Structure 1
Amino acid sequence: MTRDTSRTDGDNPRNRKPRAAEDRSGGFGEMVKTVVIAVFFALVIRSFAFEPFNIPSGSMKPTLLVGDYLFVSKYSYGYSRYSFPGSLPLFEGRILSSPVKRGDVAVFRLPTDPSVDYIKRIVGLPGDRIQVIDGILHINGTAVERRRIEDFVEMGPGGQEIRIPRYVETMPDGGPSYETLDQTPYGALDNTPVYTVPAAHYFAMGDNRDNSQDSRVLSAVGFVPEENLIGRAEVLFFSIDDSAAWWQVWKWPSAIRWSRLLDGVG
């Protein structure tokens, strides 16, 4: 009788891995690979295309409400160190930059604390002279057109109705129109000195004019450096009122502001 030598050592049952163990090992490896690829593409999209932000305060009422979630286009103004996770100083200034327009709603890093994200409306470009007189915005010595419309109505903490004067403001030179709130023409920031916007900087204001800490407060915000711009607000993808937290899914049907979903930001 001859000995069968066709079987290699690897075919020896004693040298085989249990098939179940092989399947588990391969399945775990594939799962890790899938997660790594997903994270990579999420970072690429977040850095170069769109990044989600939420609105934590009422400084941009009535355009943006507390509980709004929106996408910001990262490519709108080009890229700076603040476009990327960790704000790594990979280069100076901006690359692939595009012009900022008066009236844009922009997200930027707070000049006095670059770890904080801010969202406001850009009302002043480099070289502009900005002033507020009796609650009316002036650009380069000319009052911005403002038209009174129906009050903005919201409910107070005790359930009482609060009415706030609302206006439609229109940027000069064919710029966009948008709504603002001005509770009183005698607020702390309704009469200001003239601000001359430096080169490579912008002047930003909240649409809720009496309840916004913005470029009018030089010690807290001031002029926004071009490098600090992150992107332009584009569209609301989710909005929920204060009757539910975002994670309380069972309350969504009554808490979601359905009429705001997929609204453009302008």
Structure 2
Amino acid sequence: MSSHQLLVLVLIQVILLLLPSIGAAKLFEKAGVPGWKAYIPFYNTWVMLGLAERPRHWVFWQVIPILGWFITLGIYVEFVKVFGKFKFWEHALAALLPLIYFPLIGYDAKVVYTGAAPVRKHRKGVAREWVDAGVFAVVAATLIRTFVFEAYTIPTGSMEKTLLVSDFLFVSKFSYGPRIPNTPLSIPFVHSTLPVTKTNSYVEWITLPYIRWFASPVKRRDVVVFNFPAGDTVINLDDYQSRVPYYTACRTLGGGNIDSGRKIVLGNPDQYPLVLRPVDKEENYIKRCVAIAGDTLQIKNQVVYIDGKAQPFPPESQTYYTVTTQGQPLDEAVMVEEYNLDINSNEVSSVPGTSNQYHMLLTWVAHEKMLKSGLAKSIVPELADDDPQQPLFPFVPNSTWALDNYGPIWIPAKGATLTLTPENYPVYERAIRVYEGNTFEMKDGKFWLNGQPVTQYTFRMNYYWMMGDNRHESQDSRYWGFVPEDHIVGEAWIIWMSWNHGVRWKRLFNKIK
């Protein structure tokens, strides 16, 4: 655990200890204790435990990362009991909303200190015991999922072989700082849609702006989970969703003209049912951050360049190469053990008309090892054939940009000012308009921001460029552009389970690099 992560946990604990202070001060006074003691973290819960006649060693358990949060909430529940609060809803408010509930009862003249004797005599029914246990489990799991880590499953091969289909991960929420949900009123343990009814798992009666506690920036080469930026509008059918994003479908239906395609979709709501999603309910994606805010990225023959400097390939990233060998037959056992290749699969195939050339799906580690061992005389990357049905960002007609030869493109940075031009308008228009919440358009070569003519724009957020390690099988930033900082969920941390017709034991508890 890094010092930053530890600091985040400690600060959250201190905030929890200070939340009820205003109300707790009045309650202390009712119990004959000076109110100022409520404002000293840890000492305030020491006093609460003394008044409740509960073990004071609970105070020391509060310093344990994460577990201490729940100890604190439990102390609050024990404390309100000595003021005659025994009902389920009263305990729920004490644990979940101490900032509001403690002042309510503290300044209520009818609430009096009764001491610990009535608490010892009070007995809960069996049903209440089960309800309390269930609620505590749900609250604990929700808090952990929101602020600490979340389980995630790899659904596709876009990150192979760094991550494999059916790897089960823990995603660290405090690597970049816990993000407060935009839609706090939602059903726990599901993302955007309920399993059976396919209806929304959340309501937008209350929505919150982007808030991230103790924010820390994404670093280059991190493996990141984020909300799919093009997932704010989806065609709510199994064949679409993020598989065929709404904007891609509109361009396809419009023959490259997104406005024409949008008219077709909006004119046929039964055929193309639409759902609008807030940021935190957009589908989760996992990719590697290859460029951070302020970088200029370019791809030349598969190699990523940042500010003109070539970047190393991720060790387990894979792509197809044409491999020329020394002429000896390929040994099946050696290929599996040394290069992690199955010569009887589509990972290896002979180049027609040759005896020593092969198409091979190699990781970068295997690429380097094959050259070093002398098995290969040469290894040449095979460039991808671009799919006309999947145009590349920023969707400029007749662009020469391709999957393996892309850019250059500048990644927006918070506080950086961009001079607007007709050439960069399609690159940054969505970021300025959608992600940063402006009205923005270009008319007759002039730019209008929130109704005012402008020549420059200063960005309010950092942005990132994400790509899959399986470069030719990944729907990533090359197809839909930048990832804003408010879409970042967390850092992929560790593989806790991996399954493919049985447990892949060697992958268990591997840290993700």
TM-score, with structure 1 as normaliser: 0.72
Q: 1:110 aligns with which of 209, 225, 228?
A: 228
Q: 2:496 aligns with which of 229, 233, 237?
A: 237
Q: Give the partner amino acid of 1:153.
A: L
* Higher normalized contact order (CA 8 Å, seq sep 6+, divided by chain length): 1
Could you report, residue by residue, the CA deviation over 1:112-139 in whole angstroms, capped at 9, with x for unpaired residues? Answer: 1142100000111111011111111111
**Corresponding position: 1:78 with 2:177:** yes
C-alpha contact (below 8 Å) 1:132/1:192 kept by paired residues: yes
Q: 2:164 aligns with which of 53, 65, 80?
A: 65
Q: Give the partner amino acid of 2:179.
A: S
Distance 1:46 1:256, change over 3 A: same
**Corresponding position: 1:119 with 2:286:** yes
Give the number of the structure whose residues are more often strand, by fraction.
Answer: 1
**Corresponding position: 1:265 with 2:512:** yes
The residue that corresponds to 2:474 in the other structure is 212
Q: Give the partner amino acid of 1:191.
A: N
Could you report, residue by residue, the CA deviation over 1:27-62 in whole angstroms, capped at 9, with x for unpaired residues? Answer: 222111100111110001111101000000000001
Q: 1:184 aligns with which of 374, 382, 404?
A: 382
SS for the counterpart of 2:142 is: helix
| CA apart distance, 1:222 | 1.2
TM alignment of 1:163-174, pairs within 5 A:
163=348, 164-168=361-365
SS for the counterpart of 2:283 is: strand
Q: Give the partner amino acid of 2:212.
A: R
Between the aligned partners of 1:83 and 1:139, the Cα distance in structure 2 is 33
The residue that corresponds to 1:99 in the other structure is 217
C-alpha contact (below 8 Å) 1:70/1:233 kept by paired residues: yes
Q: 1:130 aligns with which of 297, 312, 317?
A: 297
**Corresponding position: 1:201 with 2:477:** no
Sequence identity (%): 40
Larger gyration radius, structure 1 or structure 2: 2
TM alignment of 1:25-44, pairs within 5 A:
26-44=125-143
Between the aligned partners of 1:142 and 1:196, the Cα distance in structure 2 is 14
| CA apart distance, 1:187 | 4.5
Between the aligned partners of 1:36 and 1:184, the Cα distance in structure 2 is 55
Between the aligned partners of 2:504 and 2:314, the Cα distance in structure 1 is 27
C-alpha contact (below 8 Å) 1:82/1:230 kept by paired residues: no
C-alpha contact (below 8 Å) 1:131/1:137 kept by paired residues: yes
Between the aligned partners of 1:69 and 1:183, the Cα distance in structure 2 is 31
| CA apart distance, 1:144 | 1.4
**Corresponding position: 1:46 with 2:145:** yes
Distance 1:81 1:48, change over 3 A: closer
| CA apart distance, 1:186 | 4.0
Deviates more, 1:224-233 or 1:106-115: 106-115
The answer for unaligned runs of 5 or more in structure 2 is 1-123, 187-201, 232-278, 317-337, 349-360, 366-379, 387-402, 414-461
Between the aligned partners of 2:339 and 2:478, the Cα distance in structure 1 is 25
Between the aligned partners of 2:499 and 2:183, the Cα distance in structure 1 is 28
C-alpha contact (below 8 Å) 2:151/2:168 kept by paired residues: yes
Deviates more, 1:88-97 or 1:130-139: 88-97
The residue that corresponds to 2:88 in the other structure is none
The residue that corresponds to 1:15 in the other structure is none
Structure 1 runs (4+) deviating above 4 angstroms are 81-88, 146-152
Distance 1:152 1:206, change over 3 A: farther
Q: 2:306 aligns with which of 130, 139, 157?
A: 139
**Corresponding position: 1:162 with 2:342:** no
**Corresponding position: 1:223 with 2:390:** no
Between the aligned partners of 2:208 and 2:488, the Cα distance in structure 1 is 16
Distance 1:58 1:48, change over 3 A: same
The residue that corresponds to 1:21 in the other structure is none
Q: Give the partner amino acid of 1:45.
A: I
Between the aligned partners of 2:362 and 2:287, the Cα distance in structure 1 is 20
The residue that corresponds to 2:341 in the other structure is 153
CA RMSD of aligned residues (A): 2.7
